[in-house]
C-alpha cells in the first residue's frame, strides 16, 4: 500500500509523489459493451499485462481511495468465469480502485451454499491484504454502466438493481442479492452471512434482515446506472428448508455467521487473473448441528450423509 505523504511549503518535491485518484474518474462514460463471447484465459491475460499475480491491480499514477476485494462464490462455471474476468478487469481498472478478485470454489458432492462461501471469501481475503470494502458478486452478472462504482458507501449497497432477465426492474424493495457491497466493519457488525442455507433461496433475505436489525439501510444507484446483464445458466436446486431457517433467523443470527464459521481450505491457487480458494464447507457436520437444535421438525427433506 502506498504511504501517504504530506508536503509542507518548504519541503522539496519527492521524486515519486502519489496524488489521490478521483472518486469519479474522468474516463467513465456510462454505458459499456458486455461481450458474452467465449474466450481463453490466455487471451484475457494478454489484455491485462500489468496485473499482479492473484488478480490484484492498483492504479500506478495516483493513490486509490478504495481497497476492494471482489468475492465470487463459485462452482462449475468456467465459461461464465472467463467472460466475467474479461469484463470486470476492464471495468475495475477504469474506476481506478485498488482491487483483487477472489473466486471461492466449493468442492463437488455438496449442496451449494452461496452465503457460506462468501463468509470464507471475506476471511481468507483479509489474510493477504488490508481490504476496506467487500463486493460479493454472482459470476453470471455483468455490469452495463461504468458509473456503477465498485466501492463501499456509508451504508451497504445493493448494486445489481436492474437486471435484463427481470426487465431491468427491482423485483422487490428489500432485495439484497446478486451483487452487494459492504465494509469490513458492516460485515463484522452483522456477523457476516448465514452458514445454514444449503441450496438456493432465502439467504439474501436473511442478510437483508441482518442489516435492518442493526440499523443499516440498503443504498442503491438509480436503475439506469445499476444495470446488469445475466449470463444464462441452470438454477441451483432449491433449499426446501429455507422458510424454516428464515423464520428462526432473529434467534440465530448472532451465533450463525462469522462467529461459528467452519470450513477446510483444500487449495489456494494464485492465478494471474484471480485467486481461487477451493474449500470443503463441511456440509454434513453443519446439518448435524442443525438437527441437534431441533429447528427442522417441520422440514423432513433435509438429507444428511452418514
Rounded Cα–Cα distance for residues 32 and 29 (Å): 8
Rounded Cα–Cα distance for residues 117 and 193 (Å): 9
Tell me whether residue 212 is in a domain: yes
Here the CATH number for the domain that contains residue 225 is 3.90.550.10
Tell me whether residue 23 is in a domain: no
Q: How many domains does the chain have?
A: 1
| Strands, E assignment, the chain | 56-57, 67-74, 98-106, 133-137, 141-143, 157-158, 162-163, 179-183, 227-230, 264-270, 275-280
Rounded Cα–Cα distance for residues 235 and 103 (Å): 19
Tell me whether residue 14 is in a domain: no
pLDDT in tens, the chain (306 residues): 333 444 344 555 455 556 999 999 989 999 999 999 999 999 999 999 999 999 999 999 999 999 999 999 999 899 999 999 999 999 999 999 999 999 999 999 999 999 999 999 999 999 999 999 999 999 999 999 999 999 999 999 999 999 999 999 999 999 999 999 999 999 999 999 999 999 888 899 999 999 999 999 999 999 999 999 999 877 777 787 888 888 888 888 999 999 999 999 999 999 999 999 999 999 998 888 887 777 665 565 545 442
Tell me whether residue 306 is in a domain: no
pLDDT value of residue 235: 73
- Retrieve residue 28's grid coordinates: 467513465
Instruction: Kindly list the distances between the CA atom of residue 203 and the CA atoms of 227, 235, 246, in Å, as whole numbers in the listed order.
Output: 22, 15, 8
Tell me whether residue 55 is in a domain: yes
Owning domain of residue 157: 41-293
Strand pairing category for 275-280 and 264-270: antiparallel
pLDDT value of residue 283: 94
Tell me whether residue 12 is in a domain: no
Tell me whether residue 10 is in a domain: no
Tell me whether residue 64 is in a domain: yes
Amino acid at each position: 500500500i502506498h504511504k501517504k505523504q504530506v508536503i509542507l511549503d518548504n519541503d522539496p518535491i519527492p521524486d515519486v509523489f502519489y496524488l489521490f485518484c478521483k472518486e469519479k474518474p474522468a474516463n467513465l462514460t456510462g454505458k459499456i459493451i458486455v461481450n458474452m463471447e467465449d474466450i481463453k484465459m490466455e487471451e484475457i491475460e494478454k489484455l491485462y499485462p500489468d496485473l499482479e499475480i492473484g488478480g490484484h491491480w492498483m492504479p500506478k499514477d495516483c493513490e486509490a481511495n478504495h481497497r476492494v476485494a471482489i468475492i465470487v462464490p463459485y462452482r462449475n462455471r468456467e465459461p461464465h468465469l472467463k467472460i466475467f474476468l474479461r469484463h470486470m478487469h476492464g471495468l475495475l481498472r477504469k474506476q481506478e480502485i485498488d482491487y483483487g478478485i477472489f473466486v471461492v470454489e466449493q468442492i463437488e458432492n455438496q449442496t451449494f451454499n452461496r452465503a457460506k462461501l462468501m463468509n470464507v471469501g471475506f476471511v481468507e481475503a483479509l489474510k493477504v491484504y488490508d481490504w476496506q470494502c467487500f463486493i460479493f458478486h454472482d459470476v453470471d452478472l455483468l455490469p452495463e454502466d461504468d458509473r456503477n462504482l465498485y466501492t463501499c458507501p456509508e451504508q451497504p449497497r445493493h448494486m445489481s438493481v436492474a437486471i435484463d432477465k427481470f426487465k431491468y426492474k427491482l423485483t422487490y424493495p428489500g432485495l439484497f442479492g446478486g451483487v452487494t457491497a459492504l465494509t469490513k466493519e458492516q460485515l463484522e457488525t452483522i456477523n457476516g452471512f448465514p452458514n445454514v442455507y444449503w441450496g438456493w433461496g432465502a439467504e439474501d433475505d436473511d442478510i437483508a434482515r441482518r442489516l435492518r436489525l442493526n440499523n443499516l439501510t440498503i443504498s442503491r444507484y438509480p436503475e439506469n446506472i445499476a444495470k446488469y446483464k445475466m449470463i444464462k445458466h441452470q438454477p441451483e436446486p432449491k433449499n426446501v428448508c429455507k422458510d424454516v431457517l428464515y423464520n428462526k433467523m432473529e434467534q440465530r443470527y448472532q451465533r450463525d455467521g462469522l462467529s461459528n464459521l467452519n470450513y477446510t481450505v483444500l487449495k489456494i491457487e494464485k492465478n494471474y487473473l484471480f485467486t481461487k480458494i477451493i474449500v470443503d464447507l463441511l456440509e454434513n457436520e453443519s446439518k448435524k448441528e442443525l438437527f441437534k437444535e431441533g429447528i427442522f421438525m417441520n422440514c423432513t427433506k433435509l438429507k444428511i450423509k452418514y
